[in-house]
Amino acid sequence: MNNKKILLLSLGILCLGLIGCGQLTDQHTERVSALGDQISNQNGNNSNTNNSDNEEVLATNKITLTIGDPKASLSPQSITTKCLIASQSVNIVADVPSFLTFQACSDIYFNVTQLGKIEADGSIKLKIIYNDLLSKDIESIKVKACMLDANGLIGQKEPQSIIPLEVKVVDEKPYQDLNTNCAELKNWNAPFTQGINKVLTLKLKGDFTHALKQQYKGTILLKLVKEKKPECAVKWTKAEKAWPFANLTFEHSFGFVFKNKVWLVDDIEGFDLAFQYSNDGKVWNSGPQLDNGGDYQEKIRTAELNNKLWLVNIGSTLTDDPTDPEYYFHIRYSCDGLNWSKTFTPTLNVTPQAQFTAFNNKLWVFDKGAALSSTDGIHWTRETSSAPWTDLVNCVVFDNKLWVTDSAGNAWFSLNGINWNQAPKFPAGDLLVYNNKLWIIDQDEKLYYSTDGKTWVLYSASHDWDTPGHLFSIIFDNKLWIIKQPNLGTETWYLCIK
């Protein structure tokens, strides 16, 4: 072959399949109960195997490369391609749980005709299939690569002699050093609406400048990593971008959570309801626009019942006809938040301060001293006209009970919506439910929680904004979000809650 010597590295095609895919045979994989522990035990305390607290290794593939002649003796004339003539081998070990599949075959070789950095002919084909659409703790899925034990292939007779390697994803990232610090080859950010199904083409490059006449050996570690959402500190954080509203000059701008999305509703001068929605509170999509009742001071409420979202808007009829009811009550429902059906409009004549919720397979409306219920949104029954309150600002379902509060913090609870018991006084403010707790953000924007509706614990007392008051608050993605309106425009702040 004259001076042309070819080094064949049997790396080839690496396939990763998640959830519902086939399994490897016993000769290719070892079942492990604690993947991270096994890696740590096999490789000691090398920093490249350590992951941050919010990262979890889903699967690994270790590729051990052996090149060169183990019988060769060292000589002064070391820098020559002849040192790379001898036999070579590749040993691949996959560590994988039952929902992953690894498979490898040969596809890479180096044409070593000169010293210096030589790019491999061929590639590693890396296929990733990821179908976990339900986990809420995922920030991203990553593919990482690093060398174990040293920053390249190690000389077996002279360990100080190293052949460095580089790796890249074709048509995406440039070459990166393949050393003991893991290189990130690919990153997919959550949420995954359709899963991940991707083939990556990886190229390798070797630096043979310092190659000596001996055998070299090293192990490449490929990792599939789940980055978890970081634990939040109990501190208000200003969102990089405020949530979008077309109109925030009126008090009835509204938000709710439905189908794992956060939704915003703007009232366009009382004549239209404009919707926007987001999966993460960052990227927003335009939703439907619905006709409205004509009162730009109307109130909007939502409740979820029978896999439907029910939306009511209550406002003044703005008419001089004494036979007309003083207030209108419009009710709609949707199965997805995008397509809406309007029911027959009942004549309830409740005020815009009325509260709306779902409880015990019924829709409920609570107004001044009154409680009304319905199973279909059309036919309503007045359950009582002697409820103990005169004004209401909150209504939630917690601990299999209805809870209502007024503007002064007086609170009542009921097991059936008809008979009411007074609870100890609540902090006055917005009442929400999350993670088996009642939460209140009060008029000074301090945050409290209670596990029983009796004893309240201060969760957060400080914040970094200057303008008091907020338009509304909502719980989404393990965070309490508030929308503020300092001067012109809006600000969105969030606080992680547990």
The domain that holds 424 is classified in CATH as 2.120.10.10
Say what the pLDDT of residue 210 is.
63
> CA–CA distance from 297 to each of 79, 168, 254, 347 (Å)?
84, 59, 12, 19
CA 132 to chain centre: 12
Q: Are residues 19 and 104 in the same domain?
A: yes
Residue 216 is predicted with a pLDDT of: 84
> Distance (Å, rounded) from C-alpha 404 to C-alpha 109?
72
CA 190/CA 263 separation, integer angstroms: 19
Q: What is the mean pLDDT of each run of 10 residues along the chain (498 residues)?
A: 36 29 28 29 39 80 78 53 54 74 60 69 77 77 91 89 89 90 89 78 80 79 85 76 63 81 79 85 88 70 94 77 72 94 83 92 94 94 92 92 93 96 92 92 88 91 78 84 72 83
**Same-domain status, 38 and 165:** yes
Q: Note whether 254 and 472 are within 8 A (CB).
A: yes
- DSSP 8-state code for residue 369: T
What is the pLDDT, as a whole number, of residue 69?
Answer: 66
Range of the domain at 266: 237-496
348 in the same domain as 212: no
- Quick one: 151 and 30 in the same domain? yes
The domain boundary, picked from 228, 245, 278, lies at 228
The structure tokens listed for 202 are: 């990886």
pLDDT of residue 129: 80
Nearest residue to 408 via CA among 389, 395, 385: 389
Q: Which of 34, 59, 40, 69 is closest to 148 using CA atoms?
A: 40
Q: State whether 94 and 114 are in the same domain.
A: yes
Whether residues 455 and 378 fall in one domain: yes
Strands 308-316 and 5-9: unpaired
CA distance 211 to 83: 7
Rounded distance between C-alpha atoms, residue 394 and residue 166, angstroms? 60
Same domain, 380 and 447: yes
Q: Say how far apart CA 87 and CA 78 lie, in whole Å.
A: 18
The owner of tokens 């103990």 is 388
Does 166 share its domain with 297?
Answer: no
CB 275 within 8 A of CB 296: no
Q: Looking at the structure, do residues 260 and 169 belong to the same domain, yes or no?
A: no
Provide the number of structural domains found in the chain. Answer: 2
Distances in whole angstroms, Cα of residue 361 to Cα of each of 246, 251, 306, 358, 382: 35, 30, 8, 7, 16
Contact 120, 107 (CB under 8 A): no
- Per-residue model confidence (pLDDT) at position 273: 83
Quick one: pLDDT at residue 37? Answer: 32
185 Cβ partners below 8 Å, 6+ apart? 126, 142, 143, 144, 145, 167, 169, 173, 176, 200, 202
Closest listed residue to residue 56, CA positions, set 117, 123, 138: 138
Helix then strand count (H, E) for the chain reads 1, 42
The C-alpha atoms of residue 258 and residue 495 are separated, in whole angstroms, by 20
Residues 370, 328 share a domain? yes
Domain boundary among 199, 228, 257: 228
Whether residues 120 and 265 share a domain: the answer is: no
> Where does 1-128 have alpha helices with state H?
35-43
**pLDDT confidence of residue 139:** 83
- Separation between Cα atoms, residue 155 and residue 163, nearest integer Å: 8
Radius of gyration of the chain (CA): 32
The upper half-sphere exposure of residue 14, i.e. CA atoms within 13 Å in the direction of its Cβ, equals: 25
The residue among 147, 79, 69, 88 whose CA lies nearest residue 114 is: 79
pLDDT at 321: 60
The H or E element that residue 423 is part of is strand 421-423
Query: Contact, 1 vs 98, CB < 8 A?
Result: no
- For residue 291, report the phi and psi dihedrals to the nearest 5 degrees: -70, 160
- Output DSSP code: residue 95: E
182 & 261 share domain: no
CA distances in angstroms from 325 to 318, 322, 394, 471, listed in the order given = 10, 8, 25, 29
Q: Please identify, among 195, 228, 261, the residue that sits at the C-terminal boundary of a domain.
A: 228
Specify the pLDDT at position 383. Answer: 94
